Amino acid sequence: MTQLLKPAAGGAPPQGIARSSMFWRLWWRAVSVKRSQAALALGSLAVGAAITSMLLNLYGDVRRKMTEDFRAYGANVVVAPTPAKAAGVVGESAVMDEASLKPLDQFVRETPGTSFAPVLYGVVRVSPGAGDARLPGFVNVVAVGADFGALRRLNQGWRESGDAVTSNLPQGECIVGAQLASRLYLKSGDSIQVSPLSSAGEAGAPQTVPSSSTFRILSVLTTGASEDDQVFLPLATLQATLNLRDKVTLVQLSIPGETRDVESAVRRLGGILPGLEVRPIRQIVYSEGKVLGTIRWLLLSLTVLILVIIALCVMATMTAIVLERRKDIGVMKALGAADRLLMSLFMTESASLGLLGGALGYVVGAFLARGVGLRLFAVKLSLHAWTLPAVCGLTVGLAVIAVQVPVRIVKAIRPAVVLKGE
């Protein structure tokens, strides 16, 4: 050690290289000697890294899973005519041109995970196909014209009798709500007559008898909401029936993300759809944001709490290591080693333990995350590459911070006192 600390002379390497070589030789000697305290610090850091790795990997995919589950509650944003326009309409709902919705296609391409469905609502007359005298001759119901496959993807909580319809309805087929089917004793395979409401002519003139179309019931829909009393038709068919070609009542959108993401998307839509009202369905948006926010803060709080405990453990362990090596420190100080050099040596040793512990903990945490994801959330996790540098960076930073208090003991060590054995 005396030779290591002597200044370079003659044909010896330059002084800077000699000091660097001495530093790394001392570092290697410190980390290569087996000590129970170093093993404890490494184990503590590995445990903290494993839990952090597990929580970080869980958060990404659990957040995605929760977002998908919230889609079962339907759309979270609606595009509709402005209230001023709707207030000026008498006798029918306000409608808008499909051509005005063209910017939505570009918005959906730029916003991954977004889906939408234009919808037309109207009141029609429905007559059961069977001539049962116990049944009413007709009932007035709300008809929904839409691409049913797109509407179905927005409302994943809907249930149908038989196989789910995942594409647009074929011409001549429809879907009826469960309550309407029960009232008219309808089932899959039956037929119904659908016609627009009769309209009155001039005073004293007879009412116009509307023409009707026959539709075969493809399935019966159960939603637990108002859709159970509605009949679903292809959008173009209902537009022709109501004489509202290329018109829709509103557009339902499902935009993934937390509350701030949805509100940002609403502002963007308001800019690209002038003259239309874009509004979030706040019950769904804020409920989703609250749940996701709760999960985020829970995972963050657990991570911070665990890291604080690990930091205290590493601090105590490194303090024991410094105290154990008091004589070595005294010798190095007596030979001319500066406090700054000795403090750097201990911080480098601690950072090395942090890096190794982070790498080991990441692997263990990845396996734990897969198991927890499958058992608790039914999610098959895909590991995220960014979590490895994040976990290793956290453990290295944690180790360096935790060693700040122990290395201050180095300054208080007096070589004369330590070497005398006091």
3-state secondary structure of 238: helix
Mean pLDDT within 180-184? 88
Output the six-digit token pair for 165.
């319809």
Provide the pLDDT for residue 61: 67
Considering the chain, what percentage of its residues have pLDDT values greater than 70? 73
Q: Which of 100-104, 294-298, 416-420 has the lowest mean pLDDT?
A: 416-420
Output the six-digit token pair for 343.
């403090």
Q: Which of 16-25, 271-280, 411-420 has the highest mean pLDDT?
A: 271-280
3-state secondary structure of 392: helix
Confidence of residue 174 (pLDDT cuts 50, 70, 90): very high
| Beta strand pairing call for 250-254 and 247-248 | unpaired
Pick the closest to residue 97 from 251, 275, 246 (CA basis).
Answer: 246
At residue 118, φ and ψ (nearest 5 deg) are: -70, 140
At residue 258, φ and ψ (nearest 5 deg) are: -85, 180
At residue 384, φ and ψ (nearest 5 deg) are: -100, 130
Decide if 309 contacts 317 (C-beta within 8 A).
no
* Cα angle for residues 219, 221, 227 (degrees, 5° grid): 140
Provide the pLDDT for residue 65: 66
Output the six-digit token pair for 49.
């890294």
- Annotated domain spans of the chain: 19-67+291-419, 76-280
For the segment 6-31, what is each residue's pLDDT rounded down to a tens digit? 444 444 445 555 556 656 666 666 66
Give the DSSP per-residue string, 13-82. Answer: PPHHHHHHHHHHHHHHHHHHS--HHHHHHHHHHHHHHHHHHHHHHHHHHHHHHHHHHHGGG--SEEEEE-
For the segment 310-347, what is each residue's pLDDT rounded down to a tens digit? 888 888 888 887 777 777 777 777 777 777 777 777 78
Does position 37 have pLDDT exceeding 80, yes or no?
no
Number of CB atoms found within 10 A of residue 160's CB: 18
Decide if 185 contacts 135 (C-beta within 8 A).
yes
Q: Which residue has the higher pLDDT, 208 or 158?
A: 158
CA 62, CA 381: separation in Å to the nearest integer? 9
Pick the closest to residue 154 from 110, 104, 102, 117 (CA basis).
Answer: 117
* Cα angle for residues 127, 131, 132 (degrees, 5° grid): 105
CA 12, CA 2: separation in Å to the nearest integer? 15
Write a three-state SS string for 327-386. Answer: HHHHHHHHCCCCHHHHHHHHHHHHHHHHHHHHHHHHHHHHHHHHHHHHHHCCCCCCCCCC
Q: What is the mean pLDDT of the chain?
A: 77
Number of CB atoms found within 10 A of residue 350's CB: 28
Provide the pLDDT for residue 1: 41
**Residue type present at position 121:** Y
